[in-house]
Amino acid sequence: MEEVADTKARKGGARLCSLCDQRRAALKRPKTLEQICRECFYKVFEEEIHQVIVENQLFKPGERVAIGASGGKDSTVLAYVLSELNRRHNYGLDLFLLSVDEGITGYRDDSLETVKRNEIQYGLPLKIVSYKDLYGWTMDEIVKMIGLKNNCTFCGVFRRQALDRGAALLKVDKVATGHNADDIAETVLLNILRGDIARLSRCTSITTGEDGPIPRCKPFKYTYEKEINLNQICTYAYFKRLDYFSTECIYSPNAYRGFARELIKDLERIRPRAILDIIKSGENFRISTNTKMPEQRTCERCGYISSQKWCKACVLLEGLNRVCQSWVLGEAKALIMMAERK
Amino acid sequence: MQLTLEFGGGLELLSNSVKIHNVNVELKNGAEKLTMKDLLAWVRTNLIKERPEMFMKGDSVRPGVLVLVNDCDWELSGQLDTTLEEKDVVVFISTLHGG
């Protein structure tokens, strides 16, 4: 391996890692533009996450923590890094994997295979909750009913609740998700574009829902998506494979977030720091005292946290069931008419 | 020039679901070297069978696509100006999906 590295040394500009000065530089960190080798990258990556966890007091010893695991690269790396840091720095946490099955054939069933592999690889107990069990509908059924225009709205709302219910079943104290800096910057932009002041004021917090049943935290808040990818790719190159599932959800092409994502990616190319700076701007927004903010209450139908009489999930479900009824009624009417004609 | 090209992260769907391609790329007339810029154009013409906008934007790869040349981030070797040699391995990985 090293001989090949030497002859191809000119590919990396024959540069040595700027941190250890021993090994050949293999990548350029987006965050700092340092040119470093793989080993130093792993170390720096993991220790920075440790710093974020400590400085923001994300966990307490003895806590039961569920890692929201989709089988994708972010949650796979999160599962690995958290279990590694838990061991290395003695966080004293009880870690679990929590997965949501939305019922998307050809997408979710594949990514769940990845999570099941993660369960074995990292020795973390896995719990799967499904839309079918919780709501009576799979995403496949929902898309059949309403098409591809607003399906992501349904899925996003349902998933949030599903995670909370799964966490309650596991009796955990906290949920950790793999949202990275790119995701949070996209969310800030989305909320600005939509004028969603309430969400804008919350979306950059590293821990949310502390006043609710189960708080959530995002250890990757300051981690560039590119670095998570590089982490994956380094391991892939070394054949210590961290498996992860890597395709776009088949129902997502029209999601509004896609536009925010394109914008962030283009910005990153010109000025990589823009991602962290957008987050910083979001953290420092102050809402004018004249702005009326929604109040927090509970849903009258299911008891979940809500700012309206009914929570969004219940509103969406009611809509689905009505469409379904009218469709069924429509079919029934058509059948009756056909029978009468005969 | 013999090269091995790999597609990952969903990009393989653009090339008939084939992940690894062993290819022979002809240099342009009078050209002495093959750069990544040349290779990208070649890939778009010869390997990408659908939705080329998912792979490239302008002269370069779409933002969010990572490129490794012999296990090294192409940012280190000059991105589009990287020169390629016989038997090099180039990996393209799309990162534009949920995690």
Interface test with B, best of A225, A230, A246 (most B CBs within 10 A): A246
Higher pLDDT, A14 or B75: B75
Using CB atoms, pick whichever of A70, A248, A266 lies closest to residue B10: A248
CATH number of the domain at A49-287, out of 3.40.50.720, 3.40.367.20, 3.40.50.620, 3.20.20.70?
A: 3.40.50.620
User: Which pLDDT belongs to residue A5?
Assistant: 46
Which helix (H) or strand (E) segment is A158 a member of? helix A151-170
Mean residue pLDDT across chain A: 85
Is the predicted pLDDT of residue A171 greater than 90, yes or no?
Answer: yes
Q: Say whether B63 and A72 touch across the interface (CB within 8 A).
A: no
Q: Which residue has the tokens 């966990």?
A: A59
Binding-site residues on chain A for chain B (CB distance < 8 A):
4, 8, 11-13, 15, 25-28, 35, 70, 72-76, 178, 180, 225-226, 228-230, 233, 237, 244, 246-249, 252, 261-262, 265-266, 268-269
**Secondary structure letter of residue A33 according to DSSP:** -
Sign of CA dihedral B46, B80, B77, B74: negative
**What whole-number distance in Å separates Cα of residue A204 and Cα of residue A187?**
9
User: Which pLDDT belongs to residue A239?
Assistant: 38
CA atoms within 13 A of residue A143's CA, in its CB half-sphere: 16
The pair of structure tokens assigned to A243 is 């498996």
Query: Which class does domain B2-94 fall in?
Result: alpha beta
CA distances from A81 to A278, A331, B30, B95 (A): 25, 53, 51, 19
**Secondary structure letter of residue A177 according to DSSP:** -
Q: Count how many pairs of residues, chain A against chain B, have C-beta atoms within 8 Å.
A: 85
The pair of structure tokens assigned to A248 is 């776009």
- pLDDT grade for A1, boundaries at 50, 70 and 90: very low
Identify all chain A residues contacting B97, using CB atoms and an 8 Å cutoff: 72, 246-249
Interval A40-58: pLDDT, tens: 988 999 999 999 999 999 9
| Residue B83: strand pairing partners | B35
**What whole-number distance in Å separates Cα of residue A251 and Cα of residue A231?**
27
Identify all chain B residues contacting A41, using CB atoms and an 8 Å cutoff: none
User: Which range (A4-13, A66-75, A134-143, A308-317) has the least confidence?
Assistant: A4-13
Identify all chain A residues contacting B68, using CB atoms and an 8 Å cutoff: 233, 237
Higher pLDDT, A331 or A131: A131
User: Which pLDDT belongs to residue A254?
Assistant: 67
Identify all chain A residues contacting B13, using CB atoms and an 8 Å cutoff: 247
Interval A54-99: pLDDT, tens: 999 999 999 999 999 988 888 888 998 999 999 999 999 999 999 9
Q: What is the nearest CA distance from B77 to chain A, expressed in angstroms?
A: 5
Q: Is A281 annotated as belonging to a binding site?
A: no
Extract the runs of DSSP E, i.e. beta strands, from chain B.
2-8, 20-24, 34-35, 56-57, 60-61, 65-69, 72-73, 83-84, 88-94
Can you tell me the ipTM of this complex?
Answer: 0.74
Q: Which residue has the tokens 């283009």?
A: A266
Interval A187-229: pLDDT, tens: 999 999 999 988 898 899 999 988 777 999 999 999 998 888 8
Q: Is A100 annotated as belonging to a binding site?
A: yes
**What whole-number distance in Å separates Cα of residue B37 and Cα of residue B77?**
13
Q: Say whether B98 and A268 touch across the interface (CB within 8 A).
A: no
Interval B23-75: pLDDT, tens: 999 888 878 889 999 999 999 999 998 888 888 988 899 887 888 888 888 88
Q: From B81, which residue of chain A is nearest by alpha-carbon distance? A: A11
- pLDDT grade for A256, boundaries at 50, 70 and 90: confident
Using CB atoms, pick whichever of B10, B63, B76 lies closest to residue A13: B76
Q: Is A68 annotated as belonging to a binding site?
A: yes
Domain residue ranges of chain A, discontinuous segments joined by +: 49-287, 298-341
- pLDDT grade for A244, boundaries at 50, 70 and 90: low
User: Which pLDDT belongs to residue A339?
Assistant: 78
Q: Is A74 annotated as belonging to a binding site?
A: yes
**Secondary structure letter of residue A294 according to DSSP:** P
Q: How many residues does chain B have?
A: 99
Q: Say whether B95 and A75 touch across the interface (CB within 8 A).
A: no
Helix (H, G, I), strand (E, B) or coil at A65: strand
Identify all chain B residues contacting A8, using CB atoms and an 8 Å cutoff: 70, 72
Using CB atoms, pick whichever of B8, B76, B99 lies closest to residue A178: B99
Identify all chain A residues contacting B96, using CB atoms and an 8 Å cutoff: 248, 261, 265
Q: Say whether A247 and B95 touch across the interface (CB within 8 A).
A: no
User: Which pLDDT belongs to residue B97?
Assistant: 62
Neighbours of A9 (CB within 10 A): 14
Is the predicted pLDDT of residue A108 greater than 80, yes or no?
Answer: no
The four Cα atoms A209, A188, A48, A25 give a dihedral, to 10 degrees, of: 150
Q: What is the nearest CA distance from A9 to chain B, expressed in angstroms?
A: 10
- Helices and strands counted in chain B (H then E): 2, 9
| pTM score | 0.82
Residues near B71 by beta carbon (within 8 Å), at least 6 away in sequence = A26, A237, B89
- Angle, helices A274-283 vs A181-194, to 10°: value is 60
Is the predicted pLDDT of residue A3 greater than 50, yes or no?
Answer: no
User: Which pLDDT belongs to residue A247?
Assistant: 65
Is the separation of the CB atoms in A23 and A265 below 8 Å? no
